[in-house]
Structure 1
Amino acid sequence: MSSTDPKEPELSRIIEMAWEDRTPFEAIEALYGLPEKEVIKVMRRELKPSSFRLWRKRVTGRKTKHQELRPEGVIRAYCPTQYKR
């Protein structure tokens, strides 16, 4: 997949993963080959300007969005209570 032109299903999943607080940018790069700067470009292109600003504000400084900054206790991409049955 070209880093500048992801296809629709991949694009949707990339955006979803980028919005997830506990999914690091490294996971997106491992799955789709898009480094953090490319993810930011995709988000800027695909989101409304106000949504992009909200997303940037949300992810800026989040330790869980970068693998090496994550606390050791964070081992999953979702909160333990998110998928309770």
Structure 2
Amino acid sequence: MMVFSEIDIDRIIEMAWEDRTTFEAIKFQFHINEQEVIEVMRRELKSCSFKRWRKRVQGRATKHEKLRSFDLGRFKCYRQKHISNNMISKSC
């Protein structure tokens, strides 16, 4: 299990809740796979929030690159502004 700072944990949770941020993008930035993201979410969220998140993302095509029918480029969305503490620049 990796140890993350509070800022990293907050960012992982934020990225996991975002519909268009894939698990692959989280892995690219934080070097943790989907199962490890699930473990972070389970540990850090209230039980009801975790269950709501799992129900929301399970089988969602936008959370898995392989299931997407579209390509946004390398983890970029033209509407998303630069996010501080993010290793991947989101500014367009």
TM range (shorter): 0.7 to 0.9
* Runs (4+) off by over 2 Å: 76-80
Which one of the candidate residues 16, 19, 29 is aligned to 2:17? 19
Which structure: greater helix fraction? 1
Aligned residues between the structures: 79
Q: How does 1:20-35 map to 2 (within 5 A)?
A: 20-35=18-33
Gaps of 5+ in 1: none
TM-score (norm 2): 0.77
TM-score (norm 1): 0.82
Aligned-residue identity in percent: 53
Gaps of 5+ in 2: 82-92
Higher relative contact order (CA 8 A, sep 6+): 1
Which one of the candidate residues 61, 64, 69 is aligned to 1:63? 61
